[in-house]
Structure 1
């Protein structure tokens, strides 16, 4: 442990410190890198902004001139002399040549109006005449003078001008003597009154050098113009020398990206004209901003080097200074305690492990037990209730391990079943979250209420919660009942949670808890008879006497009597019969859960028999409206079934009572009264009347015809027309207003029906009646 105090073992604390100091040194290096990246971004943004400004200037300048050319083309197309010559045909007369001379003078005037134009041509298709400010030729001559490609055939060239309506730009090659120059052609058709007649096309030739001659390049940027078909229209000097234009990446209306062409890298910006769809492309060599970054790069490299050099010296000095006290402490501790410090070990780990190993292990064990105590305790209680305890382990030791200390030998069990989530129903939690949260609340509430006089331990049991009650005072069934009622009332008032609680008997042996749990299961099953939301004691569950064969009271004559009450529409007596049958059975000690289920299916069968007796029409209507079968089968308790039965029987009895009223008051008379009260409603028809009387339109129409001898639609029209005739004779209202007031939204329909029934029109009827 003597000599140089600085130990450079792999696990030595000196290594940790060295890494820490190096990490500190990395901070200025990373900051320098961030500054470099930010500087690069700033320069790149400046280049992008300059390119966008150049493109915007280019776009505005070219678009402004092109708009001027388009306006000029419209003026030429509207010129009477230009338009008049369209009708000229071969061969041309002297007068035609004189007209051509006049038109050429007109073109000279228009050409002088815009310096942007190199030449103006007019191609008259009817006479195959091509006229410019300085020459007169035909389509073949124009083809030799100007075409889009050198290899373009005359047929392709002619097809370009044969379009129905032409208004587009195209790059062309213009021959002037022995020289060939690039230019842009703007072609526009002259509109004709007669579409079948061959027309004329006005052609403006713009030299590509004129398009960009006033564009001032910045940052070494080169500008190119590309049309919608990715054809080069124009470019500044040497634009093609910067890099080939990446046409495939010019997607969208605008953009900015980097492109490499061989060993050359360029920044590409582009925008699209809203006037003609051309793309204006700016290409800047990457060397423009690489040069600006070179100085910054050197400066950052220098600062990083200084950080490493000076920081390294300072780090070594602090390492040596800080390590000396630890080195001295370990040397003294190893000498006095006899614990050897292995070379290359971590000094802090050696001290920590030697002094605190035992305490650390104890803390870990306690922490693990604390983390899993609730789950382990719950598992223990579940095993206790289901009789799965290990008999080889003394119960008192198991209780002590789970911090359970019985205060007496008297035990009972409460089983709590959650019927409704209450306020948590619409809390937004998922179903598992709601169940867990509500179980936690219920367990805490029942344990807290029980702790006032007794001791309680709650746990989850399948879909319910079980609570073991250990009595401190004298064990009384009334105490369990009070605890159950308090728990049920508190949760209902505070959380609107509905519970069904089953209570076991009181047992004086810890090993009788499985039996107590079985008693609560039997009591909970009896909720089918008692209904949900009740407190059910095991003592309240009916027990079969010795030698009893089982059954329930529901003889055939009682069932038939119930059916007869329903068939006669006597709801009150039917309801009373249901109440009496349920009361008789629920008072009987023999009305156990299995027989209660059979009794519920018998009641469902009675309902189906009753609905068969009342006829198919009523059965179909009630089945469609109420779906009674599924509602009854879904009932969880007899009380729920009683409520559902009353509702369904009420519907059936009301339907039968309505039929009886309709028999005493014929449907036709009711319909007539309804029509007389609603004829002004435009929507009144057979379907709406059927809905009002809960009858199908076909059945209603048939019954009305049988009882009155008149079609229902005719009766509606006659009722409306009677009112209309009275208004025509007595009131000076317009016929359309009278039609609306008697239920006709359409005057034509009113006139047609009036003439059909009265033989004359409404206006004629008014004249005859003297109004």
Structure 2
């Protein structure tokens, strides 16, 4: 805007600004004369005081962070999950790796709650395992990552961790991400009840940039932090440590001294922390004191003259500069909003009108967003169940954004599994739409029933209907959950003939407990394989949830028996023996069951083998039983060890008999069918009819001959072939589960989930979570 275009209209903001600027211009002129005499004497003391204030703030900030780390280390040292892994020896088992995964999840929670922590490590001496939030390594890799760049040898590193008790800060060079970076490591030993065990060490890594990132020093002074062992913990403003920075040169609690640094006279201010004994040092060139004094003196002399001489010009320039953005804004609003601006009118009034129009448009956009709120709300609820909320958004803000107001800090989760869709059951192409409608009704019924006494939020997660129940503060009781489950199940059965299995978690406090409640409900729902369909399964009643951990329980669920049957059918003695050993290990070694109950388990295992021979239709079963006489063998045993030996011998003979029977009857057709399935398993149309047409035979004949020659149903073989390929993709490919299902021949992801869980005992999502590196 050119100078001639600025016009001083009476109603314009320019007039008000001009009066304000002129009034402000008079103030420094009056004050300058009043403060001249006192300024000269206080400059040096104020600079020193500013340095000391900065150091005190730096001390408080760093001591507060270090105190937080020490409290966090004490909390972690008391963690049962971290402590339990200290007794693990090499080599690590699958269960140990799963436990490492769980501990790593806890470490990520601790790290997210303390943003000044760069990394957390837990070093388990017994198994030489170092666990971080992202991976697990050994002690040598930890040395290469933290100690190799500090002129510290591996033996010195091992000697440090070989101490019986460690609780100290150590400067290190971190190679965690990118180039080497100076950092501080706080090491704390986990105290054990048994002093003979090696124990563990918790390590917190804090980069020196994190310690000093919020420190603002006057005059860009250099700062440094020295620990009680005269080691430089952190610094800014210089690369090499000056000789002036040593405990012997910094006596007492605080002080100010002058010295030579890199050939330049420097003023050094320092204080000592009462809690850590660390010294906080600030260094500025000594000549800055004189420069500030000269600057203030000249400023006082010239301020009065300059204010009077060019005050008017400066006022005009700033008036022009400040008015230009408003003028540009008004022109832009006028061209885009369609609201014209009249010359001489008040700019603020025009902006007020334009903003009102903007808010009205915003309200319309909000109404459109409201239509998508349900999908966004469902995503948020799924995050609560999985424990994966946005780290940068507080939970209460997420809940408020979806208009969710909690009744109490008590939460539980109900999972609804549809055993039969009743009126919504169908065999035509409309079945998926009917199932979606049924799920919508289920979620609404669950929310309505729970809402009579409490508050509930329902969503669908991995093919399972989940209902988060926020219990009333006056009635946070497990019996209320039973009432909700029974009422919802009865209503759906009476009105829609839908049969449900309901899994109920325990009651947990705070929003963070929802994910744990979901895991409990999932564990209860998986127990449906044992209890059967149409039941209400409570997590508190599961053997694994008993106060003693289910130590005296009997572990031989249906899906485990089915897996054993599949191994025995193939005649694979090694896999069958390994699975039987695992079952016996769980029941006998871990569960400490009695000998009579162990015999019952052995007879069940023998029964499984004989049942497998029946399913294969082996003609020599009667001869085998008479010859091997497995029941009498077990009856004659007096110890569990003897029974285990006899069971292994019977299993070997069963597998040998199955292989011999299969080799005698196997022919070319069976192998041709197997090859055909391997080539076409990815086709969605692959079924027994398609195979029969390919070989010019009836489907029933092909199915019968295949089972006679392989001992396995043709449909089961097709499913297993597809699942083997799916497991490879789940473990090694970054693909969505729906895409993997289609690539192995399943058009419907629900069918894929059901078949996968039937044969593998877990859902594809859980398998991918465990198998992914």
TM-score range, shorter chain: 0.3 to 0.5
TM-score by length of 1: 0.33
| Higher Cα Rg, which structure | 1
TM-score by length of 2: 0.32
